[in-house]
Amino acid sequence: MTARFTSIPATPDIVIIGAGVVGLWCALKAKQRGLSAVIVEKGCIGQGASGGILGALMPHRPVSWEDIQTFQLEALLSLETEVAELEAATGLTCGYSRCGRVMPVDSEEFLAEHAQWQAGSTRYWPAASRTGQPLSWDIRRGEPAPAWPALKPGFVAYSFDTLSARVNPRGLVKALLASVQPHVVVAENCPVEKITDAGEVVLEDGTRLSPGKVIVAAGHDSFGLLQPALQCELGWGVKGQAVLLRPQGRLFDDMPVIYSRGIYLVAHDDGLVAVGSTSQRDFKNTDVDEAISQRLVQRAVELCPGLAGAEVVEQWAGVRPRAAGRDPVVGSMPGASNTIVATGGFKITLGIAHKMADAALNLATGSDSDLPRSFAVEAHIAYAV
């Protein structure tokens, strides 16, 4: 067999498998630590869930507080600074905004839950973000505030928090890629055949890479790569769909993220509104299902009549990684400490990927990595099939 990937350095400090948002953050963190890194990606950069259109950055509900919620809160608070530094270094925009989130409340029973979350935010959230912006959770009865003119009136109440944010996933991927080039080799269309017990990365054409450490950040494809060594399925892919709309007029400028009963509406700074997302564990292909897209548009218009007549700019479908234990998987492989896993964030990956990367690089360099115990590979094996 003729080798196709002979131009890839064979002995870098780190080989990162996957060029999605987690893999690219890992590459940036490696570069910042002075480590040589190579990214190998079976397809195109950001082609999976990282290439989506939604970009909602949502906190966990502040009740029954556990270490994963602390981890995510720290990630959401630190991301604002990390993105600002990334934008300053590259001159590119990531479409980030701490825009807040409004959740219409359609029953008194549901309102009681929101009241618990509001109380929890006072207990667990800091009073302000790191840039000094106040953080709060308010519940408003009656009509929506004037700042939300497109939102349907008539709900029991409207729950609003100022911690939630949004980002443009594709803009983030583009900025991350620009930040690591040309210091990091990024090899697209470069499938990995296997990772050996000795920590070698064997590419599809037989080329062998012998890095100091391997970081597996290939989204849902990570689980298949790890299965031979673990003898179990550490997770699976979940298909999601979203649509991108161009509203008539500018009613959605500076709107908070809107969330209601599983549907998100995210107004981006280019004037477009992303609507999503669905979750399908059983799916035959990753193509867009037109019927699902139509239902998303219908639900969006029902929630926000101001979207009536909006042009459908794009329909998107992709597969997110869902780990067996539900939480992300970040940790060293049992019996193979030179192989590190960083995947499985499901719907919260965009908001925590930089923290996952910090943890992975800490593990790679032998530094302390303060991670929730539920992130460990061993913790997920207990749930695996």
Q: What is the DSSP string of 23-75?
A: HHHHHHHHHHTT--EEEE-SSSTT-SGGG-S--EE-PPPSSS--HHHHHHHHH
SS3 241: strand
| Rounded CA separation 377/231 (Å) | 13
Helix %, strand %, coil % for the chain, to 5? 30, 25, 40
The helix (H) or strand (E) run that includes residue 155 is none
For each of the domains in the chain, give its residue range(s) and CATH number, in order of start: 100-163+237-323 (3.30.9.10)
CB 277 within 8 A of CB 241: yes
| Rounded CA separation 66/14 (Å) | 32
CB 135 within 8 A of CB 160: no
Q: Indicate the Cα dihedral angle 165, 170, 176, 180, nearest 10°.
A: 180
Q: What pLDDT does residue 317 have? A: 96
Pairing of strands 329-333, 257-260: unpaired
Angle at 340 between CA 334 and CA 346, to 5 degrees: 105
Q: Print pLDDT tens along the chain (385 aa).
A: 345 666 899 999 999 999 999 999 999 999 999 999 999 999 999 988 999 999 999 998 999 899 999 999 999 999 999 999 999 999 999 999 999 999 999 999 999 999 999 999 999 999 999 889 899 999 988 777 666 667 888 899 999 999 999 999 999 999 999 999 999 999 999 999 999 988 999 999 999 999 999 999 999 999 999 999 999 999 999 999 999 999 987 777 778 999 998 999 999 999 999 999 899 999 999 999 999 999 999 999 999 998 999 999 999 999 999 999 999 999 999 988 899 999 998 889 999 999 999 999 999 999 888 899 999 999 999 998 6
SS3 248: coil
Q: Find how far residue 380's CA is from the centre of its chain.
A: 19
Q: What pLDDT does residue 257 have? A: 94
Nearest to 382 by CA among 192, 181, 234: 234
Q: What pLDDT does residue 7 have? A: 81
Q: Indicate the Cα dihedral angle 286, 291, 294, 298, nearest 10°.
A: -120
Q: What pLDDT does residue 44 have? A: 95
Measured from the Cβ of residue 357, the count of other Cβ atoms closer than 10 Å reads 27
| Rounded CA separation 328/33 (Å) | 24
Nearest to 19 by CA among 35, 41, 38: 41
CB 110 within 8 A of CB 117: no
How many residues in total does the chain contain? 385
CB 250 within 8 A of CB 47: no
Q: What pLDDT does residue 2 have? A: 43
